[in-house]
Copies of this chain bind each other. A is one copy, B any other.
Amino acid sequence: MMRIDLAQLSAFAAVVEEGSFEAAARRLHVTPSAVSQRVKALESRLGRVLVSRTRPAGATEAGQWLARYARQVRLLESEALSGLASGDVEVRLAVAVNADSLATWFLPALTGLADERGARFELHQEDQDHSATLLREGAVLAAVTADAHAVQGCAVRPLGRMRYLGVATPAFARRWFPDGPTAAALGAATTLVFNRKDALQSRFARELAGRRVDPPVTVLPSSVGFADATILGLAWAMLPESMARPALDDGRLVEIAPGRHLDVPLYWQRWKLASPLLDELTDAVVAAASAQLRAAKP
């Protein structure tokens, strides 16, 4: 088996994670030229360019598998050391989380690990396609995603369903849906989309209309921005019910189709890696999800 020099490996990993040779050098308390030499030595050893010399620097395609390996080694090493010493962990747990989970139920799941273990995190706010890529590349250890299909090397478990309600201000609903959410009205009233892949609003519109409708859209890549913009009357939108509830209760928002909703099942994908930290994180995430999400369908 080919042995990889650990000093070279950690120089490589630091450059990829920090985004530059200078920042990697600061983290490792060595000079940038030492980092550069180690990375070059590793590249010539493996016969591949591993780091793209861009701003920020990143792993090349060949480097991505090595970055995954480096993260695994570092997590295990950090846990081994913390078993010997202080209990503090020296690693950032990298997790991808879909935007609506990040804006609603996810963050409280991290408080225990942060308080008791001193854990730090690297959160990626990503859509589900990108989450699978991040897991495969090893850029994250785990992900909250709507994708039930296990990424190779990962275990997947259901977290529950996030319920979305179609909401608007009373004034918006009166102006645009005087006869309710008809196909014609849905084809004319502005709705929000998070990005070009966000199909939630058009899926709901199609279910209400009984046929495909293409509502005019405002593109707004921010979960909390969705709630703000809807409350400002810019558009109707699908909001997670926990986010919509306060404004529904005090009358700033109304449902455009009371009694109708969309449920999005969410899953936890994590590397199959014998890591107590990742186990603890999994337990905390599953507990937070079961308290805040609707139960997964059996």
Q: Which residues of A approach B to under 8 Å, CB–CB?
A: 18-19, 23, 26-27, 56, 92, 99, 102-103, 107-108, 110-111, 114-115, 118, 120-125, 190, 196-197, 214, 216-225, 228-229, 232-235
Contact = CB atoms under 8 A, between A and B. Distances in A.
A121 B123 CA distance: 28
Contacts of A196: 18-19, 23, 56
Given A196-B18, A234-B111, A222 B92 contact: no
A212 to B, nearest CB: 9
A295 B93 CA distance: 40
A109 to B, nearest CB: 10
Contact of A190 (B56, B108, B114, B124): B114
Contact of A219 (B111, B122, B214): B122
Nearest to A114: B234
A9 B217 CA distance: 22
A283 to B, nearest CB: 18
A75 B229 CA distance: 23
B92 A229 contact: no
Given A120-B218, A219-B122, A107 B233 contact: no
A92 B19 contact: no
A125 B27 CA distance: 29
Contacts of A232: 107-108, 110-111
5 smallest CB-CB distances across A and B, nearest first, come from: A224-B224, A122-B219, A19-B196, A121-B218, A120-B218
Given A196-B18, A225-B103, A123 B233 contact: no
Contact of A225 (B23, B107, B235): B107
Contacts of A120: 190, 216-218
A252 B102 CA distance: 20
Contacts of A229: 107, 110
A125 to B, nearest CB: 5
B214 A92 contact: no
A85 to B, nearest CB: 16
18 contacts: A19-B197, A23-B196, A56-B196, A103-B225, A107-B229, A110-B229, A110-B234, A114-B190, A114-B218, A118-B190, A120-B217, A122-B218, A123-B220, A123-B222, A124-B221, A125-B222, A222-B222, A223-B224
A225 B190 contact: no
A219 B107 contact: no
